[in-house]
Amino acid sequence: MDSGGGEVDARDRLGELSDLFASRRLVVVSNRLPYNPHRAREGICYIKGSGGLVTALDPILRLSNGLWIGWDGGTGASMKGKRVTISEPEGEESYQLRFVDLTEKEVGHYYYGFSNRTLWPIFHNFIGMSRFNSVHWKTYFKTNAYFAGTILEEANPSDIIWVHDYHLSLVPNFIRYQNPDLKPYFFLHTPFPPYDTFRVLPWCKPILEGLLGSEKIGFHVKGYADNFLDCVEKILNAPVDRESGVVELPGREVKVGSHPISIDYNAFRDTALTKQVMKRAQKHRSRIGDRVVILGVDRLDYTKGIKERLLAVERFLERYSRYRNRILFIQVAVPSRTRVEEYRVMKKEVDETIGRINGRFTGEGWPPIQYIYRLLSREELVAYYRIADIALITPGRDGMNLIAKEYVASQVDKQGVLILSEFAGAAEEQTEALLVNPYDIETVSETIYKAIKMPSGEKRARMEKMQDLLEERDIYYWVRDFFEEVS
């Protein structure tokens, strides 16, 4: 299902900003492109990604006849340096993709190395998982310069340049240094760590300097923005105005703010009401029977708290024995970074933990845990959201966590209960969820019991409040909020 209802709907929901994007081209820069090229018999075809960023920006890029710059993901389609126009089958509005070509060695050092074995764990406060490799850093530096060079080839001073995420933290300063007329914006989709964590990074200073090449830097929540300002003040000794969220640099200011990303609420709600999803949900429910369904959905990543969640389910089964044949915990784990050793080790631990728990508590041929290790389509996922009596979303640390929001939007019957980690950015908005410390196994197990026993009226009241907020502050609100000061 194509979310967002097309360009006309996007224009309506962007409100006054539609005029901005209609008169100025939007240039988006990210590690990955929104469309993946694949070889087919008739030539190269392009498959649209399903992430929240793609959902939000795809129609806006069409409005502005924009450009998206990024890597093709190593699909082997040989897109080096190419520009491709992406257009709707029925419609004139389109935008272009510009492919950044990376060698296998660059991908290994820049992406799997520095981005995901150094910055990712540091930004999520997992210092012990970080690996500090100067070769990886040099390749990261070089690759960011390469991305910046591509932007310099393509962009004009009138363009709105929006760089995304930790993979490209050096890009804004590279751009500003080489062409001061270009004024990039930046958004970080992970947490930003506190000073005592971030200063462990040997290259913390150039990372900060790279980000400060931006006109504006966006974070999901105020705590991340505050951490960034602390680091700028203590590491760079730069003046910071905390009340207005401004870093004062020679000759200019950098705005720093919190802008919680969201989802296309209407798209998920409408998907949940389709006949296809309802049929899938009914099929699942007829197979499961009247068991209480508890659902976890994550990328297979050590930051997501999957192992601790499994231990909490195990503790629940130990403490509340009468539920041993009356619940089913479904854990969807999407394969992630399978080339990184830490992720392979984690998968083995998760597999073994699930096997051990199922071995302990399987009764009458029905194991208490169902494990799905693959990427699900939106329709498949929303069908599981619909039948889930409880969503157990308990990351150890998460920038936002859009799964929690997708679950809320898909709960058209308003009888689900969201149990959410207090360490996810979403916890600051989804305050009607049952908030837990994911490392407190006893309390999480108690909270599962509380969710099961929650009266129907309370479930409805909590869910309606979360849905009302989410409908108001959807993905288009996020874009408007970020660019409200741009003219």
Q: Which residue has the tokens 């200019």?
A: 252
Taking only the tens of pLDDT, the chain with its 487 residues reads: 344 444 456 677 777 778 888 889 999 999 999 887 777 766 677 777 766 678 778 878 888 889 999 998 876 555 566 778 876 655 557 889 999 999 999 999 999 999 999 999 999 999 999 999 999 999 999 999 999 999 999 999 999 999 999 999 999 999 999 999 999 999 999 999 999 999 999 999 999 999 999 999 999 999 999 999 999 999 999 999 999 999 999 999 999 999 999 999 999 999 999 999 999 999 999 999 999 999 999 999 999 999 999 999 999 999 999 999 999 999 999 988 877 888 889 999 999 999 999 999 997 678 999 999 998 999 999 999 999 999 999 999 999 999 999 999 999 999 999 999 999 999 999 999 999 999 999 999 999 999 999 999 999 999 999 999 999 999 889 999 999 888 6
Contact 73, 42 (CB under 8 A): no
Split into its structural domains, the chain has a count of 2
Residue 272 tokens read as: 């949940």
Same domain, 37 and 59: yes
Residue 84 tokens read as: 């491709």
Contact 369, 353 (CB under 8 A): no
CATH of the domain at 343: 3.40.50.2000
pTM for this predicted structure: 0.94
Contact 254, 216 (CB under 8 A): yes
Same domain, 257 and 128: yes
Amino acid at 207: I
Is 126 domain-assigned? yes
What pLDDT, on a 0 to 100 scale, did the predictor assign at position 79? 59
* Cα-based distances in Å from 93 to 17, 28, 354: 17, 17, 48
Quote the distance between the C-alpha of residue 363 and its chain's center.
Answer: 37
Percentages helix, strand, coil for the chain, rounded to the nearest 5?
Answer: 50, 20, 30
Quote the distance between the C-alpha of residue 365 and its chain's center.
Answer: 37
CA dist., res. 327 & res. 451, Å (int):
12
Same domain, 220 and 281: no
Same domain, 337 and 433: yes
Nearest to 182 by CA among 207, 162, 202: 162
Same domain, 365 and 435: yes
Looking from the CA of 481 toward its CB, the CA atoms found within 13 Å total 21
Is 456 domain-assigned? yes
Quote the distance between the C-alpha of residue 226 and its chain's center.
Answer: 20
What pLDDT, on a 0 to 100 scale, did the predictor assign at position 1? 35
Residue-wise burial string across 446-481, b where 16 or more C-beta atoms lie within 10 A, e elsewhere: bbbeebbebeeeebeebbeebbebbeebbbbbbbbb
What single DSSP character describes residue 377? P
Residue 375 tokens read as: 């990427």
Same domain, 31 and 111: yes
User: Which residues contact residue 68 at a Cβ distance below 8 angstroms, ignoring those fewer than 6 apart?
Assistant: 27, 28, 29, 30, 33, 34, 57, 61, 95, 96, 97, 98
Same domain, 258 and 271: no
Contact 296, 329 (CB under 8 A): yes
* Cα-based distances in Å from 214 to 138, 164, 242, 341, 396: 22, 11, 18, 34, 30
**How many contiguous H segments (helices) and E segments (strands) does the chain have?**
19, 18
Is 350 domain-assigned? yes
Same domain, 463 and 479: no
Is 116 domain-assigned? yes
Other CB atoms within 10 A of residue 88 CB: 13
The whole domain housing 288 covers 265-471
Amino acid at 121: P
Concatenate the DSSP letters of all residues of 200-222 into one string.
Answer: TSTTHHHHHHHHTTSSEEEESSH
User: Which residues contact residue 8 at a Cβ distance below 8 angstroms, ignoring those fewer than 6 apart?
Assistant: none
Same domain, 245 and 312: no
Burial of 76 (0-12, 13-18, 19+ CB in 10 A): exposed
Same domain, 300 and 238: no
Q: Which helix (H) or strand (E) holds 150?
A: helix 134-154
Is 1 domain-assigned? no
Residue 54 tokens read as: 């793609």
CA dist., res. 258 & res. 249, Å (int):
20
CA dist., res. 201 & res. 376, Å (int):
36
Same domain, 209 and 241: yes
User: Which residues contact residue 373 at a Cβ distance below 8 angstroms, ignoring those fewer than 6 apart?
Assistant: 300, 333, 335, 347
Residues carrying an active site annotation: 189, 398
Nearest to 407 by CA among 423, 393, 427: 393
Same domain, 277 and 139: no
Residues counted in the chain: 487
Is 442 domain-assigned? yes
Contact 335, 298 (CB under 8 A): no
Amino acid at 3: S
Residue 444 tokens read as: 């999480």
Amino acid at 23: S
